[in-house]
Structure 1
Amino acid sequence: MDSPMCLVENADGELHVVPGAIKYLMGLNQQVVVVAVVGLYRTCKSYLMNKLAGKRKGFALGATIQSKTKGIWMWCVPHPEKRDHTLVLLDTEGLGDVEKERASSSHNEEEGGDTQFVQFFPHFVWAIRDFTLLLEIDGRNVTEDGYLEHSLELRKGGGRKNLMYNLPRECIRNYFPSRKCFVFPTPTTPANMPRLDSMDEVDLCGSFRTVADTFCRFISQESCTKTVKGGHKVTGRMLGYLVNTYVETIAKGPVPCLENAVLAMAQIENQAAVDEGLAVYQRGMEVVKALFPVDMGQISTHHLRSDHQAIQAFMNRSFKDKNWDFLKALAVAIAKHYADLLLQNEDASEKKCAALLEKRSTPMAQKIKEGIYATPGGYELYCNHYDNMVAQYRAEPEKGVRTGDILEQFLREKSLEKSSILQADKKLTENEKKIHKEKERSAVLEQEKKAAEEKRAEMDLP
């Protein structure tokens, strides 16, 4: 992402997600580290976020009392420390803007209902700008973190004033067990503050640059991959689902429930994992499908390999698939597609085998038409051609799984033809034998007649 884009728009007090930003998140399959900044406007929040992005410009800093950040702006950049992770920077509109009316809301929570989510809350980093005080408490030097913890101490006693004082501190103490503090000196002179975004780093106060560099290193090294209940890592795509759910829920009035949002996201994400797994399987089987017809060993080998790849793709994307319901759905979808492929392979084999037999039997059909086999001994000639045709068919490679079945069916169909030629040959042979015998008998009679004539001739001699 070359520059920040608005993720959640604040228009007249109503929140709306920006479709283009959500689309960008939905296309982000890497796990994300989310860093969000909140605080009073005109306190250099955007400057720090630009620095985290490694850029001089990006988030609008502004130089007037009018806040430049309306809603929530997002900037996705490669994480400087974590490989294959995206750093998602969220810059919120400043609190205390004189043009905005602020309202508070309350909601009922089950006792201890949110404590289980504390482990998934981010680090709480308190950045104090223009810090000119001494880091001392009761005459003792304290660290920046010590100063923060001192600031979070609760006041004793009742009353509305103490209650309002303690409430935000209790929230920070209860929901952010990991806390860090940075105190920043003034970055430059008051006269130069309006052009802070255009100033070179070397022109800023040296002590400010030192703290800013330390701050950025801490954020880069200590910020964890975003997770939800169950320890599941969140990708950009999943973050997009969550943002949509949160904003839609807020627009309806109630406070978003993290668990319900995660469950809704899990349904969408797991169905997408099923679809992705099936697509991986189908792409894997396209290789063997292009070779149809193939034998059972080939298609089975490709099936097992593609099935494994599909399950791997599903596992990489699936999320909170309790009882493996979605994995089972993937298995059913794969089984159905495999069954369809088996039928297609059988059909391809049947067509190829039938075409081969048709090609090999055509010369014999022509000989039958020409009466080649309609002679005595024609059956033997027919059988020689018949056996040769079958041998040629068997020798043809890559006929697929229906090789034997189609040949058997073909031979059954040819049995009547073969029997007819045999019967015809028998009749022709019997007739030939009768004729031969008749010729032999005629020859004998002719011989006898000649012998009788010769004998009469001898008797007539004087």
Structure 2
Amino acid sequence: MLELELDGYPITEDEYLENALRLIPGGDPHIQNSNMPRECIRKFFPKRKCFVFDRPTNDRKQLLHIEELPDDELDKNFREQSKNFCSYIFDHAKTKTLGYGISVTGSGLGTLVQSYLETINSGGVPCLESAVKTLAERENSAAVQKAADHYSEQMAQRLSLPTDTLLELLEVHAACEREALTIFLERSFKDDTQEFQKKLVVMIEKTKEDFLQKNEDVSLKCCQAELKTLSEALMTSISSGAFFVPGGHSLYLKAKNKVEEDYKLVPKKGVKATEVLQSFLRSQEEVELAILLADKALTEGDKAMGVECAKMQAAEREQELLREKQKEEEQKMEAQQRSLQESIAQLEEKMNKERENHLKLQEMTLEHKLKMQKELLTEGFKKKAEDLNKDIEQLKEDIEATKSGSHFNVSAILDVASIALVAVLPGPYKVLGMGVKLLSDAVKGRKDSS
């Protein structure tokens, strides 16, 4: 049984631990070896907590099979101590993190340990940075896939094809992309060159293009089917020669206009509605001209005027179709620009948060080193206390550098990120690089002014 007593006075569990970690004076090698683990514990564990456990049972036979023993057969004091221990861990234990406050999950920690041990077993020199790099590659790849899957699933759930307009699809895309990027940035780390974010951009862009194409295909099929049904009577009349009579041109125009008006009233035609209608009207131009020229009820002047009118209407329809296509391209460009701006903004937010976490960690480390130095002086280890001065001064410089941003240049990294993200976009969208560069410059100007 461990006695919580020092110099005849009762002490707490924590006081017992701190007393056990006190360094032993002297330069003897045995003393130095004894002090080494104490120093390591004091250095790497700023906050320490000690728990004392009684024996789980006094029955030696039960001790041989302790893992099979029911809880109610364990010693009462041991059960209470175990409960207190677990409660403390659940309430106070913090998530394990890497640099910049990056959390490590259980599986991530397993990867770190596995990579570290494999290096040792292979006879190599273990390097934590190398193990972290291995973990980052695995976690970032998983983050890309999870974000891309979320985007695909949400697009499929939220879209009802065909959409009435291109803008409707692009708005759903923007929302899903924003969520996907958030998922990626929450899980990824050490993606300094934006390699994995670029992969995500490419995957999302491809999936978006697939939805755009599918939206057009569904709309095209729907519109063609509707127009075929609505024009059946017109096509039958043309085939039977019903319009090749005096006054037939007027009858034809009335029938054709009815098809056009009825078609415009059909809901949910989608983005190909105008193009399909224009294609149909274009296919009727020769038929209309033949009916016009054969109409004996019209004078030559009427016919000439009818020909010119048909040409003007055809030209106007073509211009309307061009304007619609141009508008769609502008909407795509604007959506892409907003997407890039959102990516840069979220990346900036993540980097600023990482800088804040890193600063907190540095300040905690400084506080711990100052405390260690004070303890060493109190215990009479002046030389060891002085040896810490160099570390303390360097840490103070690092803290000032983090505060000023000189070691964490957000705007410079955003410049690189904007170029990297634009570089993986389809050709027409690369012109947005200048716009994103201007955004990064604006961020830089905002930082400088503050």
TM-score by length of 1: 0.57
- The reply on whether 1:340 has 2:210 as its aligned counterpart is yes
Identical residues among aligned pairs (%):
39
* Mapping of residues 406-417 of structure 1, within 5 Å: 406-417=276-287
1:145 equivalent in structure 2: 14
* Distance across 2 between alignment mates of 1:204 and 1:394: 81
Shift of 1:378: 2.0
From 162, 174, 179, the equivalent of 2:48 is 179
2:36 equivalent in structure 1: 167
- The reply on whether 1:260 has 2:130 as its aligned counterpart is yes
Matched position secondary structure for 1:416: helix
TM-score by length of 2: 0.59
2:249–2:295 contact (8 Å) kept in structure 1:
yes
1:377–1:429 contact (8 Å) kept in structure 2:
no
Shift of 1:332: 3.7
Shift of 1:346: 2.1
| Larger of the two Rg values belongs to structure | 1
Gaps in structure 1 of 5+ consecutive residues: 1-129, 431-462
* Distance across 2 between alignment mates of 1:201 and 1:276: 41
Shift of 1:135: 1.3
From 155, 170, 188, the equivalent of 1:318 is 188
Deviations 1:8-42 (A, max 9, x none): xxxxxxxxxxxxxxxxxxxxxxxxxxxxxxxxxxx
* Distance across 1 between alignment mates of 2:120 and 2:288: 84
Shift of 1:428: 9.7
Deviations 1:361-406 (A, max 9, x none): 3322222222222222222222221121211122212111122222
Evaluate the alpha carbon distance shift between residue 209 and residue 297 of structure 1 in structure 2; reply closer, same or farther with a 3 A threshold.
Answer: closer
Q: CA RMSD in A?
A: 2.9
Deviations 1:126-155 (A, max 9, x none): xxxx32x46123x44433323322322333
Matched position secondary structure for 2:25: coil
2:442 equivalent in structure 1: none
2:161–2:218 contact (8 Å) kept in structure 1:
no
* Distance across 2 between alignment mates of 1:225 and 1:398: 51
- Normalized per residue, the structure richer in strand is 1
Evaluate the alpha carbon distance shift between residue 255 and residue 308 of structure 1 in structure 2; reply closer, same or farther with a 3 A threshold.
Answer: same
Evaluate the alpha carbon distance shift between residue 166 and residue 416 of structure 1 in structure 2; reply closer, same or farther with a 3 A threshold.
Answer: same
Matched position secondary structure for 1:179: coil
- The reply on whether 1:361 has 2:234 as its aligned counterpart is no
- Normalized per residue, the structure richer in helix is 2
Evaluate the alpha carbon distance shift between residue 163 and residue 391 of structure 1 in structure 2; reply closer, same or farther with a 3 A threshold.
Answer: same
Q: Residue type of the partner of 1:386?
A: K
Evaluate the alpha carbon distance shift between residue 257 and residue 425 of structure 1 in structure 2; reply closer, same or farther with a 3 A threshold.
Answer: same
Evaluate the alpha carbon distance shift between residue 400 and residue 206 of structure 1 in structure 2; reply closer, same or farther with a 3 A threshold.
Answer: closer
Evaluate the alpha carbon distance shift between residue 378 and residue 320 of structure 1 in structure 2; reply closer, same or farther with a 3 A threshold.
Answer: same
- The reply on whether 1:390 has 2:260 as its aligned counterpart is yes
For these two proteins, the number of residue pairs brought into alignment is: 299
Q: Residue type of the partner of 1:178?
A: K
2:147 equivalent in structure 1: 277
- The reply on whether 1:217 has 2:87 as its aligned counterpart is yes
Q: Residue type of the partner of 1:175?
A: F
1:293–1:348 contact (8 Å) kept in structure 2:
no
Q: Residue type of the partner of 2:111?
A: Y
Shift of 1:206: 4.8
Shift of 1:418: 0.6
1:377–1:425 contact (8 Å) kept in structure 2:
yes
Evaluate the alpha carbon distance shift between residue 215 and residue 236 of structure 1 in structure 2; reply closer, same or farther with a 3 A threshold.
Answer: closer
* Mapping of residues 120-131 of structure 1, within 5 Å: 130-131=1-2
* Distance across 1 between alignment mates of 2:65 and 2:218: 74
Shift of 1:420: 0.6
* Distance across 2 between alignment mates of 1:323 and 1:398: 44
2:162–2:219 contact (8 Å) kept in structure 1:
yes
Shift of 1:255: 5.2
- The reply on whether 1:381 has 2:251 as its aligned counterpart is yes
* Distance across 2 between alignment mates of 1:344 and 1:316: 31
2:157 equivalent in structure 1: 287
Shift of 1:196: 4.1
Q: Residue type of the partner of 1:408?
A: Q
1:292–1:348 contact (8 Å) kept in structure 2:
yes
Matched position secondary structure for 1:286: helix
Evaluate the alpha carbon distance shift between residue 144 and residue 161 of structure 1 in structure 2; reply closer, same or farther with a 3 A threshold.
Answer: same
1:375–1:428 contact (8 Å) kept in structure 2:
no
1:280–1:310 contact (8 Å) kept in structure 2:
yes
* Mapping of residues 188-227 of structure 1, within 5 Å: 188-189=57-58, 191-192=60-61, 193-194=63-64, 196-197=66-67, 205-227=75-97
Matched position secondary structure for 1:183: coil
Deviations 1:166-194 (A, max 9, x none): 22222222222222223334444354533
- The reply on whether 1:351 has 2:224 as its aligned counterpart is no
Evaluate the alpha carbon distance shift between residue 196 and residue 420 of structure 1 in structure 2; reply closer, same or farther with a 3 A threshold.
Answer: closer
Evaluate the alpha carbon distance shift between residue 379 and residue 187 of structure 1 in structure 2; reply closer, same or farther with a 3 A threshold.
Answer: closer
Q: Residue type of the partner of 1:164?
A: N
Gaps in structure 2 of 5+ consecutive residues: 301-450
Shift of 1:411: 1.4
Q: Residue type of the partner of 1:270?
A: N
